């Protein structure tokens, strides 16, 4: 299915060495993102979605250590991002220009004491030698493209003068100002209210089609995934537990965790009067985790001696559909 | 902005009126007045003083009037620019201040610059290299600086320089220049003397601003907008100075006004130890002698300076932080 791969993550492990032990935020993630496709990564808080996203651009805070391979096929030659030094020129050339990122809190993501225009122009000028007036012109054009009214005025606004939705649009404008091949969106709509959410999602879809880029869309909202993604990776405790096309995941969820997630979606017009299904327990903290299925403690199909014996392998159940669960062996 | 400044200047007038009352009351609080002190010291020397003579003097200086009348006399003259006469020096207060106030201002401003120029870079370094050897070393030096009394440091420096280099570091001028009129050579001579008091007075302030800068920057370094800047592909150095450092400096800018009183009061003891020709020793002597016009005028002048300092730092804060606006929203 995926012969035109843009980014390939192989056995990614991001560990944080803490006083209390080794926190394995990501423990062996392998993923591939095709050109022009949208990959959705879903999971509860603490499952490693955001760390995966940040690992790609080497933005993991200290004392995080990244191991494994992240191959980017956007340039002339494939580059292994995981092997690049995090403050070196090589990764800095890719950040913003080839791979851009947008964040969850648009209010916090802009510096409060610089204008929006200044911060967007800076992104442009970091990668292109463009005189100031031209960069400003491009900025205004980008703001217009993301649907900000009166961009000539807005360009000189400070973040506190704009609403959350406007700021997220500005953030998208900044991320797309250099036409990146890959956009990483880390919960871009979580902090916004629902109507604004829908607007932002529509905008992202439109721009993805227009500009022809790939998107990694990280969220805990399955509705958003169904709306946005072509492919879906479900993450749990630092690992991908199920991967497939959006159709496969929603119509035939196979991992007990994915199934439980699907059952926890409230359905409009359903007759049931009972409580909304929820998953018992919480995601444990992966501090020196034992080698076992991470979901075993919360799983209704738990098999003693099997699930807690080793980490289950990823098993192909149909073309392009993989599950990390021994039930499918 | 102009509106705001004008409004602030108006408030300053009210503050000063209130302040002048407090200052006057405090100066009047100790029992007796200048003449009681004067008579006591004459008697201590064995001179007998005629009661009638004292009463005549008291009437001449206006000391027999009620406190309210005395206040009124003092403050109305003060506003007109006549600060009265110093009893102890037998010279107009204005003349005494003209000698010393400019030197105090210059010393304070130099110290302020010294404090910021040293403390901000060190604070930034300490935050960026948190828990490194350099950070620990600078923190230790900072704490020692904060804990050492200024006058102690002054004495140690004086001893050290005299013992090993045979130089006297007291005063602001070499002996041959003290009575000279101002000239380039005199200014140069003063600059050579200036660094010792600046260092001594500035040490404690420097140490505390290092701590403020360090913790304020540490707070900012983890913020989301720093990650955003990094994700744009900016170099670490550029993004650090453009974003977190720039924002971490705000609380320091806004407290410039608070530094001035610290410096001025810290200066008093140092000026006595190092025999500096500033207002410090003058006010100390004036308070001891109950030389009320002199003491009152100095305190008033220093208060005015402090208020101006506060206003300047408020204006600076508006300039550095666009989120702050004193204008009423239209």
* CA pair distance A193, A123, nearest whole angstrom: 28
Subunit contact A110:B225, Cβ cutoff 8 A:
yes
CB contact under 8 A, A122 and B234: yes
A 193-252 residues with CB < 8 A to B: none
Residue the block writes with tokens 């926190």: A23
Interface residue of B233, B242, B247 to substitute, partner A, most A CBs within 10 Å: B233
Chain B nearest-CA distance from A175, in A, is 8
CB contact under 8 A, A174 and B232: yes
Task: Report the number of secondary-structure helices (H) and strands (E) in chain A.
Answer: 11, 12
Handedness of CA B127, A62, A295, A222 (dihedral sign): positive
Kindly state the tokens that stand for A173. 């404008």
Measured CA to CA in angstroms, residue B325 lies from A218, A290, A322, B318 at distances of: 38, 55, 57, 6
Helix (H) or strand (E) holding A193, with range, is none
CA neighbor of B35 nearest in space, from B289, B266, B325, B295 = B289
Question: Cα separation of A9 and A12, whole Å?
Answer: 6
What is the DSSP-derived secondary structure letter of residue A287? B
Task: Please report where in the chains the tokens 């699930």 appear, as a residue.
Answer: A307
First to last CA, chain B: 14
Cβ–Cβ of A92/B222 closer than 8 Å? no
DSSP secondary structure code for residue A62 in this structure: T
pLDDT at A289: 86
C-alpha B101/C-alpha B278 separation (Å) is: 6
Tens of pLDDT, residue by residue over A226-240, are 989 999 999 999 999
The segments of chain B whose pLDDT lies below 70 read: 326-330
Q: In a structure prediction context, what are the per-residue pLDDT tens digits for chain A, which is 329 residues long?
A: 456 899 999 999 999 999 989 999 999 999 999 999 999 999 888 889 999 999 999 999 888 999 999 999 988 889 999 999 999 999 999 999 999 999 988 999 999 999 999 999 999 999 999 999 999 999 999 999 999 999 999 999 999 999 999 999 999 999 999 999 999 999 998 888 888 889 999 999 999 999 999 999 999 999 899 989 999 999 999 999 999 999 999 999 999 999 999 988 777 766 666 677 778 777 788 888 888 898 988 888 999 888 988 999 999 999 999 999 999 98
**Spatial contact of B128 and B240, defined as CB atoms under 8 Å apart:** yes
Tokens 């490693």 sit at which residue?
Answer: A48
Are the Cβ atoms of B232 and A103 closer than 8 angstroms? no
Tens of pLDDT, residues B249-296: 988 887 787 777 777 777 888 888 888 888 889 988 888 888 888 888
Give the 3-state secondary structure of residue B81.
Answer: coil
Q: Find all residues with CB under 8 Å of B264, minimum gap 6, and list them.
A: B104, B108, B302, B305, B306
- The answer to whether the Cβ–Cβ distance between A101 and B222 falls below 8 Å is no
Sign of CA dihedral B43, B48, B54, B55: positive
Whole-number pLDDT of residue A1: 45
- Closest listed residue to residue A177, CA positions, set A136, A214, A232: A136
**In the prediction, which pLDDT does B118 show?**
93
Instruction: Give yes or no for A158 touching B (CB within 8 A).
Output: yes
Q: Which residues pair with B160 in a beta bridge?
A: none
Tokens 């009394």 — which residue?
A: B149
Domains of chain B: 93-164+197-320 (1.10.3720.10)
Would you give the DSSP letter of residue A239? E
Q: Is A297 on the interface with B (CB under 8 A)?
A: no
CB contact, 8 Å: A263 with chain B?
A: no
Closest-CA distance of chain A to residue B230, Å: 8
CB contact under 8 A, B233 and A93: yes
Following CA atoms B202, B206, B208, B210 in sequence, which dihedral angle do they give, to the nearest 10 degrees?
Answer: 180
Task: Please count the residue pairs, one from chain A and one from chain B, whose beta carbons lie less than 8 angstroms apart.
Answer: 73
- What is the Cα–Cα distance from B214 to B212, expressed in whole angstroms? 5
């Amino acid at each position: 299915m995926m012969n035109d791969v843009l980014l390939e993550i192989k056995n990614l492990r991001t560990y944080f060495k803490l006083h209390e032990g080794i926190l394995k935020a990501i423990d062996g993630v392998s993923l591939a993102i095709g050109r022009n496709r949208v990959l959705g990564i879903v999971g509860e808080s603490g499952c490693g979605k955001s760390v995966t996203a940040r690992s790609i651009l080497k933005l993991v805070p200290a004392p995080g250590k990244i191991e494994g391979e992240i191959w980017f096929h956007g340039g002339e030659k494939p580059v292994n991002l995981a092997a690049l030094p995090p403050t070196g020129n090589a990764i800095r050339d890719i950040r913003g220009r080839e791979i851009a990122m947008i964040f969850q809190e648009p209010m916090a993501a802009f510096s409060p004491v610089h204008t929006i225009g200044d911060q967007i122009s800076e992104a442009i000028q970091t990668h292109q030698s463009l005189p100031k007036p031209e960069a400003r012109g491009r900025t205004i054009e980008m703001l217009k493209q993301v649907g900000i009214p009166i961009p000539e005025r807005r360009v000189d606004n400070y973040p506190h003068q704009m609403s959350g939705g406007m700021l997220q649009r500005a953030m998208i404008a900044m991320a797309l100002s250099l036409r990146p091949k890959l956009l990483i969106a880390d919960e871009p709509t979580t902090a916004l209210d629902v109507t604004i959410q829908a607007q932002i999602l529509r905008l992202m879809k439109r721009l993805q089609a227009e500009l022809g880029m790939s998107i990694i869309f990280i969220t805990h909202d399955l509705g958003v995934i169904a709306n946005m993604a072509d492919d879906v990776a479900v993450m749990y405790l630092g690992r991908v537990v199920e991967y497939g096309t959006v159709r496969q995941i929603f119509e035939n969820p196979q991992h007990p965790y994915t199934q439980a997630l699907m059952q926890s979606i409230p359905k409009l017009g359903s007759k049931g009067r009972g409580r909304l299904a929820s998953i018992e327990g919480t995601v444990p903290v992966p501090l020196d985790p034992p080698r076992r299925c991470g979901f075993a403690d919360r799983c209704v199909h738990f098999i003693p001696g099997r699930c807690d014996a080793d980490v289950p392998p990823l098993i192909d159940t149909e073309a392009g559909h993989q599950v990390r669960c021994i039930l499918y062996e | 902005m102009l509106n705001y400044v004008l409004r602030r200047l108006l408030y300053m007038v009210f503050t000063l009126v209130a302040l002048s009352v407090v200052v006057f009351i405090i100066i009047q609080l100790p029992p007796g007045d200048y003449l009681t002190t004067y008579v006591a010291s004459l008697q201590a020397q064995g001179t007998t003083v005629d009661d009638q003579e004292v009463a005549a003097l008291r009437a001449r200086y206006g000391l027999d009037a009620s406190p309210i009348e005395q206040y009124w006399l003092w403050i109305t003259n003060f506003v007109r620019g006549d600060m009265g006469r110093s009893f102890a020096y037998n010279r107009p207060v204005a003349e005494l201040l003209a000698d010393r106030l400019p030197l105090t201002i210059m010393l304070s401003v130099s110290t302020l610059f010294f404090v910021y120029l040293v403390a901000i870079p060190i604070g930034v370094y300490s935050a960026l290299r948190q828990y490194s050897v350099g950070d620990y070393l600078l923190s230790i030096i900072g704490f020692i600086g904060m804990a050492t009394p200024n006058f102690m440091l002054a004495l140690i420096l004086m001893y050290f320089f005299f013992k090993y280099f045979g130089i006297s570091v007291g005063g602001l001028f070499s002996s041959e220049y003290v009575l000279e009129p101002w000239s380039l050579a005199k200014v140069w001579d003063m600059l050579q003397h200036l660094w010792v008091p600046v260092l001594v007075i500035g040490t404690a302030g420097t140490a505390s601003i290092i701590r403020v800068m360090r913790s304020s920057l540490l707070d900012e370094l983890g913020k989301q907008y720093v990650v955003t800047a990094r994700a744009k592909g900016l170099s670490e150095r550029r993004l650090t100075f453009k974003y977190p450092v720039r924002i971490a400096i705000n609380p320091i800018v806004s407290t410039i006004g608070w530094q001035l009183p610290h410096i001025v009061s810290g200066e008093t003891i140092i000026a006595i130890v190092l025999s500096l020709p500033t207002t410090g020793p003058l006010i100390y002597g004036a308070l001891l002698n109950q030389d009320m016009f002199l003491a009152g005028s100095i305190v008033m002048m220093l208060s005015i300076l402090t208020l101006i300092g506060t206003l300047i730092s408020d204006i600076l804060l508006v300039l550095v932080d666009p989120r702050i606006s004193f204008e009423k929203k239209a």
